[in-house]
A = this chain, B = another copy of it.
């Protein structure tokens, strides 16, 4: 018996949005203290001199495509391809300096609320 609230099987690469001026964010799961997002980039990068400075911790992985990430205090970008993942502590300032043009870059990002003093 399959009931109406049977869980849906979804695909991360289904319904990829077309290129547009902004990255496309889809919330996959949200619970108190956490939010799991699919982010799709099409060549976007953070604006010049813009740094993300987030109160949450963020675990992020490139699933498809490619990107470059600059962390505050580092002299070089980190280059991310499929399967590359990194944990960004709260308030670790970072920018996306480049994403692959001409193809979608699909990220998974898990934002986690962090207690004062935790990393």
Contacts and interface: CB of A to CB of B under 8 A. Distances in A.
Interface string A78-101: 101011111111001000000000
A83 B59 contact: no
Contacts of A11: 83-85
Q: In which size bucket is the chain A interface?
A: 35 or more
Contact of A63 (B3, B74, B83, B88): B83
A16 B46 CA distance: 33
Contacts of A75: 1-2
A9 B73 contact: no
A74 B6 contact: yes
Nearest to A33: B33
A10 B87 CA distance: 9
B73 A1 contact: yes
Nearest to A83: B12
Interface of A: 1-3, 6-14, 28-29, 31-34, 36, 57, 59, 61, 63, 71, 73-75, 78, 80, 82-89, 92, 108, 110, 112, 114-115, 118
